[in-house]
Structure 1
Amino acid sequence: MTDETLLETRGLTKEFKGFVAVDNVDLRVKRGTIHALIGPNGAGKTTVFNLLTKFLPPTRGTIHYKGSDITRDNPADVARRGVIRSFQISAVFPNLSVLENVRVALQRKSTGSQFAFWKSDKTLDKLNDAALAILDRVGLKDFAQVHAGALAYGRKRTLEIATTLAMDPEMMLLDEPTAGMGHEDVDRVRDLIKEVAKGRTVLMVEHNMSVVSGICDIITVLQRGAILAEGPYAEVARNPQVIEAYMGTTHA
């Protein structure tokens, strides 16, 4: 963890036909931190993610990554810079094996076979060892030959983190990684995020306060699209405005 700002927004704003979903947000994510974005339903958390990863254009404001203005980049450009996102809804290829899912992601790093769906399996076998190493790291090696669609929900989300890792991101954006999970799966994924964050920067939207309090260095609280409070969990949790707006609710 350093004082270097890796990702920064300045006056980031998104309006939808007069409705302000994100309101003048100045966000700074430090390199090497796990930074959480929390807030009540409709606070604008996922919209911020969509702006950062260029799935939505901002109405106003700018986005900077490693000091470069990436406001006009497209999603592929942002991914090439090393900013890789997972989604709130599990996004795996259900008819491919767990190994094949990770191997598809690894193709980005394999010269001459980027996302070569038309090539035979044999040409991609050289990626198997790397894929298995990633699956071992996230606890899915024993499920390598299982169709992803047959996995339990918590393991599907774990596979999604594995495919995100396979893209070798400098910064991971995780959108509600523990949503819909039972207690055991939440604990597993929380520990996994802490492990894969070593040497990386993580920005996550998360509703589970036990996850946020256990692994996050900095928390930014959004309310009605604007930043309500920011700081370490212990500090934010004592903020009367945050308690009123968020801590008394059961969902993000």
Structure 2
Amino acid sequence: MSVALQAKGLTKEFKGFVAVNKVDLTVEKGTIHALIGPNGAGKTTCFNLLTKFLQPTAGSITYDGRDITKMLPADIARLGMVRSFQISAVFPDLSVLQNVRVALQRRRGDSFDFWRSERELSRFDDEAQAHLDAVGLSEFTHHRAAELSYGRKRALEIATTLALDPEMLLLDEPMAGMGQEDVARTSQLIRRIAKNRTILMVEHNLKVVADLSDKITVLARGEILAEGDYATVSKSPEVVDAYIGAGHD
């Protein structure tokens, strides 16, 4: 398979503390790749390096064969690699439809769209509605975003991300804070949108990781401890010891 995202020798130091140490990571196109590890493993730092919210101390990052090591997050988003955040980021006082429409306007790169009339902006509505249909929010089109449950806010965030037409999605703990029903709904959504995209996600819910992931990279103390499918990494004594705890039986 061809490579979507690749890191070589990725390293990040903070005043002498090495949070990520010489990580080599390859995410293949068309797969769901999970990045997991215990607290303090360096996965959030690694994720922020890959999405360019942090600059590496050493190493390189390529996306679709292009060196993005020194690029800014907004620039790589324009290349088709877009991230979500652990905390849902929506405009609470706008309607669900308007939230997605903002993303469609941003994709056009016209900062003056906000000054245009509601009637003129309505030309984005059909496409915005299609994205809401895709994430199961059709019945909430005209609700204020603030009125949605937490899980549906995350679905709305994914809809706005899809409106940017990304080839690769990077999801930061998409199930964080969700109840069982929302977890199941969001898992189905991720599986559906992954059919024609590449996904890299940081996720604590091992059941979700086992269910969704084609490949898993386990970090511990800033280094790769194991890599493979869930059956492979879950049987690794090193992973059990590092991720679940030395007292696990």
**TM-score, reference length from structure 1:** 0.94
Cα distance between partner residues in 2 of 1:234 and 1:118: 53
**Does residue 200 of structure 1 match 2:191?**
no
Q: 1:248: Cα distance to partner?
A: 4.7
Deviation per CA, 1:169-217, whole angstroms, max 9, x where unpaired?
0000000000010001000000100000111000000011111111110
**Does residue 99 of structure 1 match 2:97?**
yes
Unaligned runs of 5+ in 1: none
Q: 1:116: Cα distance to partner?
A: 2.5
Q: Choose which of 224, 228, 236 in structure 1 pairs with 2:225.
A: 228
Query: Retained in 2: the 8 A contact 1:107–1:115?
Result: no
Q: Choose which of 26, 30, 33 in structure 2 pairs with 1:35.
A: 33
Q: Choose which of 69, 75, 78 in structure 2 pairs with 1:77.
A: 75
Q: 1:120: Cα distance to partner?
A: 2.4
Aligned to 1:164: 161
Cα distance between partner residues in 2 of 1:133 and 1:84: 19
**Does residue 191 of structure 1 match 2:205?**
no
Cα distance between partner residues in 2 of 1:230 and 1:114: 43
Cα distance between partner residues in 1 of 2:151 and 2:112: 26
Residue type of the partner of 1:38? I
Cα distance between partner residues in 2 of 1:115 and 1:232: 47
Aligned to 1:21: 19
Aligned to 2:212: 215
Structure 1 moving runs of 4+ over 6 Å: none
Residue type of the partner of 2:81? V
Cα distance between partner residues in 2 of 1:86 and 1:115: 25
Aligned to 2:146: 149
Aligned to 1:133: 130
Unaligned runs of 5+ in 2: none
Query: Retained in 2: the 8 A contact 1:38–1:220?
Result: yes
Query: Retained in 2: the 8 A contact 1:237–1:247?
Result: no
Deviation per CA, 1:41-61, whole angstroms, max 9, x where unpaired?
111112112111211110110
Deviation per CA, 1:122-151, whole angstroms, max 9, x where unpaired?
221011001111101111011111111111
Q: 1:225: Cα distance to partner?
A: 1.1
Residue type of the partner of 1:200? R
Aligned to 1:4: 2
Cα distance between partner residues in 2 of 1:67 and 1:167: 21
Q: 1:6: Cα distance to partner?
A: 1.1
Percent identical among aligned pairs is 65
- Output the aligned Cα RMSD: 1.4
Q: Choose which of 25, 48, 52 in structure 2 pairs with 1:54.
A: 52
Q: 1:119: Cα distance to partner?
A: 2.3
Cα distance between partner residues in 2 of 1:187 and 1:247: 23
Residue type of the partner of 2:37? G
What does residue range 170-185 of structure 1 map to in structure 2 within 5 Å? 170-185=167-182
Cα distance between partner residues in 2 of 1:183 and 1:43: 26
Q: 1:114: Cα distance to partner?
A: 5.1
Higher helix share: 2
Q: Choose which of 108, 115, 125 in structure 2 pairs with 1:118.
A: 115
**Secondary structure of 1:122 counterpart:** helix
Aligned to 2:236: 239
**Secondary structure of 2:176 counterpart:** coil
Cα distance between partner residues in 1 of 2:112 and 2:53: 21
Cα distance between partner residues in 2 of 1:248 and 1:115: 54
**Secondary structure of 1:169 counterpart:** coil
